[in-house]
Structure 1
């Protein structure tokens, strides 16, 4: 899949990254239909958030369809 990846202050690109997998019982995988970055991402891009190292995937404001859930997910379902 493709994702916007932070590569350092002022440096970003659309990169191929591995498809997500369920790793915890409370995980859900969502096929994203629309996404955007938010103000927090803008601060990361400027280098104002030193905790975020290069390689961080940006864009957590999303709308999509659940395609898989972990065994501990009981309030959401596929579809």
Structure 2
């Protein structure tokens, strides 16, 4: 539960190439290490491999940088 009422949670959605459980396992330590991400998930069943990130103070650009550092492609969804 978000106990800091000054921070507004925002959910971002991205198209990625995180396509399987092994890919999720690879990106997990990168995303889990970032302060400002309260939760995240990847819908590997979706053709666009949608990454959903609930942000609590992290920007869209920082999420993109983190996923790219893990070795995956990521782009915003309009």
Q: Shared topology, TM-score over 0.5? A: no
**Structure with the higher fraction of residues in helix conformation:** 2
TM-score by length of 2: 0.22
Larger Cα Rg: Structure 1 or Structure 2? 1
**Structure with the higher fraction of residues in strand conformation:** 1
TM-score by length of 1: 0.22
